[in-house]
Structure 1
Amino acid sequence: MKSDPLDVDFRVCWRPLHRFPSTVDVRLPATLLLVLLLALTLAGCGGGGSGTDDRPPSDKVAYTAWKEWSRFGRATVVYGGQANGYTNRHGMTERSEPLSSRVGEYWGACGRPQWNGTSDKPWSGAFVTWVMVQSGYSASQFPRDGRHGSYLSALYDRERASRSAPFLLHAPSEYSPKPGDLVCSGSAGPTWRYADPRTAHRRIDNTAAHCDIVTDVRGGYVHAIGGNVKDSVAMSLFPVDSRGRLMNVSGRPWLLVVEKRG
């Protein structure tokens, strides 16, 4: 199975309950109680419920990602705390239609239409680029590149060259993500932030591993959708602190947050 760097695969599944239990045994372990509460909460996230994730985001970039997530099964993964890796369901796989051909469309936005879900090419970067193209961003605003490091380092250079750049890069500790932004992990962490421009460019380019598109921030979590997550288009829930800043989680060393301006 191919994956992006640092992608962690979990195999814990949840199936929705048809009715709520009339009583809860308070002697259950705290971890089991937490997972039960998350299962009930994510019932709305996984389709068929009345959760906030059933309502389309108003931001165009977030909405484009949300439509793809809805189209391919609404898989949702929780990161952080005792529930780290909890998954409510698995969406359609990249090796099956219609997602396999759709992956080819994601790569088409990067000039590689011959690659699809069976090509063994990590496609999470292509997914982000496709979403930006579908949302109306030109190549001069967002690079047509399927590798996270390439488009992120280019955005860094464009930000330095113009005060009106449509995307700004922040260290995770200094900015609170909002719908339409990107949350990105990478092995260098936020050390790029205080490096000289040449070193910062190199660290971003060489170490960026994965980015997800933020669709919502609520309940102490950033809700973000990415491609090639669980071999599908999936939503990840990342915990935030009281200021809305990303907290450290296992498997996702935060590199930066990309602010979408306007």
Structure 2
Amino acid sequence: MSSIDSPFVDDRVCWQPRFPRSCRSTGQRLPALLFLTFLLVGLAGCGSTDGSHGYADQPPTNRTALVAWQEWTRFGRSTVVYGGAANGYTNRPGMNEHSEPLNSRVGDYWGSCGHPEWNGRTSGRPWSGAFVSWVMTRSGVSQSAFPPAGRHGQYLMSLYDRDHGGRGASFALHAPNEYAPKEGDLVCTGTAGPTWRYADSRTARRRIDNTVSHCDVVTGVRGGFVHAVGGNVKNSVTMSLYPVDSRGRLANTPGKLWMMVVENRAT
């Protein structure tokens, strides 16, 4: 099992708005700004037992979630809030994939998939799938349980085959309305939603491979949001906050079409 570094950054997520000079435009944006203020203040109180730390200062207990959380911390805690008036709001930028040290780290992600020659400056190489594969390997998940791959569709097809091949699979695939994500799970978007769910195996594999867009690693569920970390988001390792419904399941999110939730039983 690979070792897991201990968290080393104590930095809370803070909202630092840039107010426009125009009084009129400020008045027009005031409701959204107030919403963001209440939202982020509320999130800052979640997960804190003594009121002295923000929500993101508490590392997850699941090993897979912890590795993803540490990478997010290492590279500046880039954060995006989705849902409501805050939809798409970037709370802060992180380190850019084209600059060091993230550029070389992207090479490590690709190395877990057999391509150490690729890095953050390799054009035309989206690395979000490589990031997920590296996180799984780093957290001690065996390659037989989670075959690393640079494409989300490739590793998801492998997980589908294992999930439908009998009992004892380390990962289970669910439609978004069937299962509430938890730490260490994957939340995945696509271009066609969960059309794979009730299709025959051959059709399901094809739809998974052809329609998946992106997967994030869930690092927490609190404050009415799934907190999930992904690579190649805003050109960095970024945490996205996605709203959940009263059952804890992914809610409709503007600009996102939820395809599946992958339950992590390995860690």
Q: Where on the TM-score scale, by shorter chain, does this alignment land: which range?
A: 0.7 to 0.9
Compared CA separation, residues 228 and 156, structure 1 to 2 (3 A):
same
**CA shift for structure 1 position 30:** 2.6
**CA shift for structure 1 position 81:** 1.2
Distance in 2 of aligned mates of 1:44 and 1:180: 22
Q: Quick check: 185-194 or 34-43, which moved more?
A: 34-43
Residue type at the aligned position of 1:89:
R
**CA shift for structure 1 position 52:** 2.6
C-alpha contact (below 8 Å) 1:42/1:88 kept by paired residues: no
C-alpha contact (below 8 Å) 2:44/2:56 kept by paired residues: no
Residue type at the aligned position of 1:84:
N
Match of 1:110 in 2: 113
Of 53, 58, 62 in structure 2, the residue corresponding to residue 55 of structure 1 is: 58
Match of 1:30 in 2: 31
**CA shift for structure 1 position 242:** 0.3
1:223-255 CA-to-partner distances (Å, cap 9, x unmatched) read 000000110001000000000010111221000
**CA shift for structure 1 position 38:** 3.2
| Equivalent runs, 1:1-262 vs 2, <5 Å | 14-15=15-16, 29-41=30-42, 50-120=53-123, 121-261=125-265
**CA shift for structure 1 position 82:** 1.2
Give unpaired runs (5+ residues) of structure 1.
1-12, 18-25
Q: CA RMSD in A?
A: 2.3
Distance in 1 of aligned mates of 2:67 and 2:17: 26
**Any idea what SS the aligned residue of 1:154 has?**
helix
Residue type at the aligned position of 1:67:
Q
1:48-86 CA-to-partner distances (Å, cap 9, x unmatched) read x71131011110000000000000001111111111011
User: Number of paired residues?
Assistant: 240
**CA shift for structure 1 position 138:** 1.5
**Any idea what SS the aligned residue of 1:88 has?**
strand
**CA shift for structure 1 position 42:** 5.8
Residue type at the aligned position of 2:113:
C
Give unpaired runs (5+ residues) of structure 2.
1-13, 19-26, 47-51
**Any idea what SS the aligned residue of 1:189 has?**
coil
Identity %: 64
Residue type at the aligned position of 2:92:
R
C-alpha contact (below 8 Å) 2:72/2:237 kept by paired residues: yes
Residue type at the aligned position of 2:101:
P
Distance in 2 of aligned mates of 1:76 and 1:37: 17
**Any idea what SS the aligned residue of 2:195 has?**
helix
1:163-196 CA-to-partner distances (Å, cap 9, x unmatched) read 1000000000000000000000001201110111
Report the TM-score, using the length of structure 1 for normalisation: 0.86
**CA shift for structure 1 position 208:** 0.7
User: Displaced runs of 4+ in structure 1, greater than 3 A?
Assistant: 26-29, 38-45
**CA shift for structure 1 position 28:** 7.8
Report the TM-score, using the length of structure 2 for normalisation: 0.85
C-alpha contact (below 8 Å) 1:177/1:183 kept by paired residues: yes
**Any idea what SS the aligned residue of 2:80 has?**
strand
Compared CA separation, residues 252 and 119, structure 1 to 2 (3 A):
same
